[in-house]
């Protein structure tokens, strides 16, 4: 998952000498920073935020972005550029509608359903993550695995079948896409369990004598498959890798 870029530029705000632990150190003078505008970068948004008011007792700032409603936040959160809610990057509402189509150089699918899923975060708290079900217009993939979390959807993550992250019989399994390999499987049905780019290790058999003694190294490189067959000791494994 891509990390959000967050920067805020506070150098032009007035300063003063602090007290207590900050004695003899220059700190931001928030009270006299009212009406100042601060530049920021948050993910794909760049702009300025105006400091509208400051409460000395609580340390709360009132800030405004463009003509949005005035937003309250602690000055510590402001200094750390925690602006997701203000900018609409963090919201409990769904950002994508059923029927929306995502089409670019990496993907082409339509959203057909959406739901909240209670999920335990790293702090052991349960939060409602927003998931969307899609149907891929490229490969046709659509089952109970074709769900994507909202953050990944908005970061241009593609179809998990097209990307080889899940195996779908009849679409991206070896049995369908590289049928010439089936004769090397001890059980031909196992060829339906792997995509050719899985990186899995499989025990193959010799199609001539039936013994498990062939090590195959298959390099998948988009438009070319190079098969290297080496006769070695029995029970060597097969590496299927993508480069």
What is the model's pLDDT at position 111?
A: 96
Listed as own residue / partner, the contacts of 136-143 with beta carbons closer than 8 Å and 24 or more positions apart are 136/107, 136/108, 136/109, 136/161, 136/162, 137/101, 137/103, 137/108, 137/109, 137/110, 138/107, 138/108, 138/109, 138/162, 139/168, 139/171, 139/172, 140/171, 141/166, 141/168, 141/171, 142/112, 143/168
Domain range summary for the chain, segments of one domain joined by +:
6-79, 101-153, 175-242
Instruction: Record the tokens describing residue 111, joined without a space.
Output: 């959203």
Residue with tokens 């900050």: 22
Residues 242 and 218: beta-carbon distance below 8 Å: no
Instruction: Record the tokens describing residue 6, joined without a space.
Output: 């967050």
What is the model's pLDDT at position 138?
A: 95
What is the model's pLDDT at position 212?
A: 76
Tens of pLDDT, residues 15-34: 999 888 888 899 999 999 99
Q: For all residues of the chain together, what is the average pLDDT?
A: 83
> Which SS3 state, helix, strand or coil, does residue 175 take?
helix
What is the model's pLDDT at position 3?
A: 58
Tens of pLDDT, residues 172-216: 998 999 898 888 888 899 889 988 777 777 778 888 887 875 444
What is the model's pLDDT at position 227?
A: 42
What is the model's pLDDT at position 218?
A: 42
What is the model's pLDDT at position 234?
A: 36
pTM, two decimals, is 0.57
Q: How far apart are CA 33 and CA 27, in angstroms?
A: 12
Low pLDDT (below 50) residues in the chain: 1, 214-243
Q: Provide the residue count of the chain.
A: 243
Share of the chain above pLDDT 70, in %: 85
Instruction: Record the tokens describing residue 36, joined without a space.
Output: 């100042």
């Amino acid at each position: 998952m891509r990390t959000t870029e967050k920067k805020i530029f506070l150098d032009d705000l007035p300063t003063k000498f602090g007290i207590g632990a900050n004695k003899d150190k220059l700190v931001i003078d928030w009270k006299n920073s009212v009406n100042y505008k601060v530049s920021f970068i948050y993910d794909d948004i760049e702009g300025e935020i105006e400091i509208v008011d400051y409460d000395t007792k609580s340390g709360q700032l009132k800030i405004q972005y463009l003509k949005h409603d005035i937003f309250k936040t602690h000055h510590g959160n402001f200094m750390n550029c925690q602006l997701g809610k203000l900018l609409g990057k963090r919201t409990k509402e769904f950002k994508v509608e059923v029927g929306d189509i995502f089409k670019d150089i990496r993907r082409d699918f339509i959203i057909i359903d959406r739901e909240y899923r209670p999920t335990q975060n790293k702090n052991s708290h349960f939060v409602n993550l927003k998931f969307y079900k899609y149907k891929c217009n490229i490969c046709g993939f659509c089952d109970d695995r074709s769900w994507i979390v909202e953050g990944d959807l908005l970061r241009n993550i593609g179809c998990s079948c097209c990307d080889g992250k899940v195996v779908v019989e009849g679409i991206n399994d070896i049995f369908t896409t590289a049928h010439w390999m089936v004769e090397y499987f001890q059980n031909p049905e196992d060829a339906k369990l792997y995509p050719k780019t899985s990186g899995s290790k499989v025990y193959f058999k010799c199609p001539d004598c039936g013994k498990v003694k062939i090590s195959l190294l298959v390099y998948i490189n988009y438009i070319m498959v190079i098969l290297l067959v080496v006769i070695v000791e029995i029970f060597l494994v097969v590496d299927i890798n993508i480069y």
